[in-house]
Amino acid sequence: MKSLKIILSLFVFSLSLITFAQNNEVVIKTHKLSENIYMLEGQGGNIGLSVGDDGIVMIDSQFAPLTPKILAAIKAISDKPIKFLINTHWHHDHVGGNENIKNEGAIIVAHDNVRKRMSVDQFDKYRDRETKASPTKLPLVSFSDNITFHMNGEDIMVFHVDNAHTDGDAMIYFPNSNVLHMGDTYFQGKYPFIDLSTGGSVNGYINAAKHALMLVDDDTKIIPGHRNLSNKKELTAYLTMLETLKTRVLAEIKKGKTEAEVTNNTAITKEYTALNYGDWFINDEQIRRTFYISLKEDKN
């Protein structure tokens, strides 16, 4: 028993060292998108910043161990305080640093369902994974539909999109700067993770992309939840991918195909497999399964 405890202790210590090394290797990259809008890339969801005389509005906080690096990157831009932290949804790679940013004096804002999800343990039955409640990271302010921040010469529009990536997604639009932060309703160049266990759906995800395309023009800079800065042309192609997969999976459902048959049908995603859409977080097999489950439940 004593030797087992030693082995377990060494294992936990080794994991801690690996995590420390990984965090130590992360570089926070800063992209200036307009006079006062920035995007920070690191590990986790892309961070958006509105910087000006009124202070800083921050969008998402990535992982807690990265907060010192993130704050250093922000300090290099401005010495103004972080007034508000807006969460695009509840997932840990977007809210992990919430408590740290709150301790800097920021007020955390998110959709009502984000607060609800973070207040209790969540279980993803499709991936057999549990996420513990995070009461120290909760939004102080929540909204049901939309909220506007009048700061730094912008009317910063924060609005809910129904049942897309989750049931608590928000997009943030900076009309004067022509920048849209889409959170995880957009994974640039890769298949999306649609969290069916917490209200996400294929139809909602498609509607979110359509909503975004109603706002943007050819010059709009689009911050996706993950990966590279994007634009209207790329988002339009992304919507085409989503609608193509929906059409194909629905056709298979109407033929009476099973979940396993659709999941294993490589023809459904053939051209997107060739474009490497599935070589990231969600692979080709997983996206086919997700579309089947969601569309089968929605029955359309």
Q: What is the pLDDT of residue 19?
A: 41
Q: Average pLDDT of each block of 10 consecutive residues along the chain (300 residues)?
A: 36 35 80 98 95 98 96 98 97 94 98 94 74 89 98 97 96 98 98 96 98 98 98 99 99 98 98 96 97 88
Q: What is the pLDDT of residue 134?
A: 83
Q: What is the pLDDT of residue 252?
A: 98
Q: What is the pLDDT of residue 95?
A: 95
Residue spans of the domains in the chain: they are 20-231
Contact assessment for residue 86 and residue 110, using Cβ atoms and an 8 Å cutoff: yes
What fold, for 20-231?
Metallo-beta-lactamase; Chain A (3.60.15)
Q: What is the pLDDT of residue 227?
A: 96
Q: What is the pLDDT of residue 6?
A: 37
